Structure 1
Amino acid sequence: MQIYKYVIKISKFANMKKITSIFLLIILSFSSCESDLDINSEWEEVTVVFGLLDQSQEKQYLRINKAFLGDESAYVMAQISDSLNFLPQNLEVKIERVSTLGNVLDTRILVDTVMLKDSGTFASDNNIVYTFDTDDFLKEDKLYYLTITHKNTGNIVSARTNLIHELELMSYFNNPNFKMGFYGISGDFTSSSVEWSHSKNAEMYQLTMIVNYTEYGITDTVIKSIQKDFPLIEHDGSDEYIQQISGEGFFNFLAYNIKKSSTVNRRINDIDFSLSAGGGDLQTYMNLNIPPTGVVQERPIYSEITNGYGLFSCRINKLQENVSITTTTKEAISNHLDSLNFIFP
């Protein structure tokens, strides 16, 4: 069986709409299975699950779908929502908080809701996801057991995950006088860095930089942003991690991602940093979905779902907003990127 190859960034998992698109592509891949599972030979209930618990989000989401069952083309069946979705009234979906001794401490019953999806290959009506409010249910030192019961058949699909402990960014972000610089008073580029401590149960990290600027047009003023996702960093046993940002790279990032204009003026504002971390099962899943470069295109399917397929793991996000930029850097942006019409002061 071959699962659809898709390049995924940890940060993308914060957006359920993007998760939906990725997840449905995975379901479509079941149509290309040749040996491990023949879903057209005899009816079989095949459940595909995708969920990531993240205590930094207000709501938790879970996708539960079925593989294509029938003799039609998978692309034809993808347009029919009944081919993708189980009837919510036929499922009981619950997540239990469990102590390290195995005692059930609390339970959440997930409710179904419909989430908007862009039109395309897959049916956009009845795009069903299952959700619950985070509240104080997610505790970083507990285990979480997912159970999906198919009421009509008695079939039970299950999985478990832990949570990633809270992320801790470098302490000097807490200093109100701290400023990040990429150009020195000597007239040379300088590097800056973002550092963080390892969080328990995290197996990979990814830093995202969002540069905010104001654009002054003839009739309006708009605050805009550009975003850079740095490469994944896998946990190697270290206690501390660092992402270097070179001055030259920062200036090139602005030059390549902001359109030249002679009709607007711009002013650089500040930087937001978003640090995302993923659990071990998510790391394995993403590594298996790296696009193949050799002759062999087939990859082993990965699933840690009991009696089903998919992924149930954890992620967490830490946002550091409004990091100031040094005056020297702002002036250099105005001088060296003059085609972008940045003004100073």
Structure 2
Amino acid sequence: MTTFEAMRKAVFIFAAAGLLLQSCKNDFEVNEPWRETMVVVGLLNAADTAHYIKINKAYLGEGNALVMAGEFDSINYTDNEIDARLERWKNGVLMQTLPLYRDTLIPKDTGVFASPLQMLYKTSSPILQDGSSYKLIINNENSGKVVTSETPIVQNISVNTPNPNQTINLVGVNPYSTKFYTAAEGKRYEVVVRFHYTEKLIFDTTQQERKHVDIFLGTYEAADLSGGQLIESSVTPEVFYKTIGNNVQPNGNVNLYYNSLEFIYSAAAEVFVIYMDVAQTQSATFGEMPFFTNISDGVGLFSSRFNKYVNNVRLSAASYDSLRFGQYTVHQGWR
């Protein structure tokens, strides 16, 4: 999952919480003075080249809440209403200020909430992994409301094995194990092997499409946030080839060509882990919703994560034979 995909899921949950609240207000006709509630979601990732903060407003008004959710102006602030910035702090000293600029280039998926236009706040400045923390400050220049939050940054993940361009064996019954060291400020980890391949039309090989299949290896928790803990994650040949067999559909019009493997290590900061755990909690009482926020004078999530990529890992010749002729993939037409 990319940082933006993770952020999009977080946005939906917080926005849905606002929708549920509004629905309850309509159902019971509760009238109270309007109070501004800012909904903020941001996940900083030092591996990304651009960083986005989603800033919305909770809405309150007469009428159907679902209809209101679909109105762009009901959930978004107007031009020049929001002044937002990131501050980089290290050892108690302000090191850098990064203005956040409005951006509408990433469309929103269709659904309950207004789409496809989506309002984000962006910086392309790099997020440093030097022990700095980042503070988010959002000022509504019309109302004077100020919302803040702060997060440490997940540091680099050190991979012991595999290395880029390394050849690995996935044959027989012996699993392949990858080993990595946890990052400072990283609490939860996921490991995925991405199998890259190309489909080429048999009668016109210039017509081709690059695709991939993800093989999930597992989720792991660090003992603490200091980093340096060795974690080993394994995949058996059976799981590897069976996953490919289940996710690549045979097509008599194309030939399949294996390209390479990519090992992807994802780390989430502790606050992000707490948010994910709370979001997955199912309440036994109808109408109750578990809730978590680390936004001061607002609601939402501001945290960090990190993705480490080891590219161009190769299958051995014996492993490639297993791909072409093994029981799970022999019918797919690998060349």
TM-score where L is the length of structure 2: 0.88
Deviations 1:143-200 (A, max 9, x none): 21111111122111100011111111125415x4x312111xxxx2321022110110
Local SS of the residue matching 2:67? helix
Deviations 1:58-84 (A, max 9, x none): 111000001122122221111111111
Q: 1:295 offset after TM fit, Å? A: 6.2
Q: Which has the higher strand share?
A: 2
Residue 23 of structure 1 pairs with residue 11 of structure 2: yes
Structure 2 counterparts to residues 240-319 of structure 1, below 5 A: 240-290=230-280, 292=282, 298-319=288-309
Kept in 2: contact 1:28–1:74 (CA 8 A): no
Kept in 1: contact 2:192–2:218 (CA 8 A): no
Q: Which residue of 2 aligns with 1:198?
A: 182
Q: Which residue of 1 aligns with 2:333?
A: 341
Instruction: Give the stretch that moved more between structures: 103-112 or 308-317.
Output: 103-112
Coordinate RMSD, CA, aligned: 2.3
Q: Which residue of 2 aligns with 1:166?
A: 156
> Share of identical aligned residues, percent?
23
Residue 214 of structure 1 pairs with residue 198 of structure 2: yes
Deviations 1:110-151 (A, max 9, x none): 11111312233221254110001123x534311211111111
Q: Which runs of 5+ in 1 are unaligned?
A: 1-10
In 1: Cα distance, 2:251 partner to 2:116 partner: 41
Local SS of the residue matching 2:238? helix
Q: 1:335 offset after TM fit, Å? A: 1.4
Deviations 1:214-265 (A, max 9, x none): 3332223433211234443222247111211111101110111111233333
Instruction: Give the stretch that moved more between structures: 126-135 or 249-258.
Output: 126-135
Local SS of the residue matching 2:136? strand
Q: Which residue of 2 aligns with 1:42?
A: 33
Residue 51 of structure 1 pairs with residue 10 of structure 2: no
Amino acid in the other structure paired with 1:130: Y
Q: Which residue of 2 aligns with 1:5?
A: none
Structure 2 counterparts to residues 18-167 of structure 1, below 5 A: 19-20=7-8, 22-33=10-21, 41-100=32-91, 102-114=92-104, 115-124=106-115, 126-135=117-126, 138-167=128-157
Q: 1:298 offset after TM fit, Å? A: 3.1
Local SS of the residue matching 2:156? coil
Amino acid in the other structure paired with 2:96: D
Q: Which residue of 2 aligns with 1:7?
A: none
Q: Which residue of 1 aligns with 2:211?
A: 224
Counterparts in 2 of 1:39 and 1:94: CA distance versus 1, 3 Å: farther
Amino acid in the other structure paired with 2:301: L
In 1: Cα distance, 2:175 partner to 2:273 partner: 29
In 2: Cα distance, 1:323 partner to 1:63 partner: 36
Local SS of the residue matching 2:280? coil
In 2: Cα distance, 1:168 partner to 1:150 partner: 41
In 2: Cα distance, 1:90 partner to 1:204 partner: 37
Q: Which residue of 1 aligns with 2:168?
A: 180
TM-score where L is the length of structure 1: 0.86
